[in-house]
Amino acid sequence: MIILKKILCPVDHSECSYLALKYAISLALKDKVKIYLMHVVDFRQYDTGIYMFGVMKPSEIDMSKIHADLLKSLPEGTTDLIEVETIVVEGVPYNEIINTAKEIGADMIVIGTHGRTGLSHFTMGSVAEKVVRMSPCPVLTVRMPPA
C-alpha cells in the first residue's frame, strides 16, 4: 500500500497549475496529507506576467506577497482540513522543484502542464517534462482538457 504524507504542488498561477492544485487537494483530503505549495521566481526573468520586479531581485515584501497569494489560491476552508505550507524560492523552476522535493522528502509532485508542442515547446522548454524526468518521487501531471 502506498501512503502519501507530503505532496509538493508548484503553482505558477496559470489555469493548469490551479487545476493541478485541485488534484493535490483531493489526494490530500483522502489521507490527511500535507501539501507544500511552491512558487519559483525565475531569476532569469523578473517580469513573469504575474509578478513584476525591477532590475533588482525581489524584496522581502514581494516574497511575502507571493506567499500570501499562494494561500489565496486555495479554496476557502482548505487550511482547516489539511496542513499547508508555502515555499517561495528564486531559481530555475524545474531545478528548484526537484531540489525542494528532495529536501522535504515529497512522496509525490502534482504539477500542471501547458501541453505545448512544436516551436513554443522548443523555445520555452517544459518545466513539467524536466520534473518528470528528474524527480526523486512519482509525478502526477495535470493538463487542461481540450476546449
For 25-53, write each residue's pLDDT tens digit.
Answer: 999 998 889 999 999 988 776 555 555 55
Residues 53-96 have pLDDT tens digits of 555 566 766 888 889 999 999 999 888 899 999 999 988 999 99
CA atoms lying within 13 Å on the CB side of residue 47? 2
* pLDDT given for residue 32 in this prediction: 86
Closest CA to 106 of 2, 3, 6, 1: 6
Please check whether residue 137 is in contact with residue 109, taking contact to mean a CB–CB distance below 8 angstroms. Answer: yes
C-alpha cell read off for 45:
526573468
C-alpha cell read off for 145:
482538457
Q: Would the pTM of this model clear 0.75, i.e. be above it?
A: yes
Would you say how long the chain is, in residues?
Answer: 147
Closest CA to 56 of 65, 69, 43, 40: 43
Q: Which domains does the chain have, with CATH numbers?
A: 6-143 (3.40.50.620)
SS3 98: helix
Sheet with 139-143, side-by-side order of all strands:
84-91, 34-42, 6-10, 108-113, 139-143
Rounded to 5°, angle at Cα 132 from 128 and 81: 75
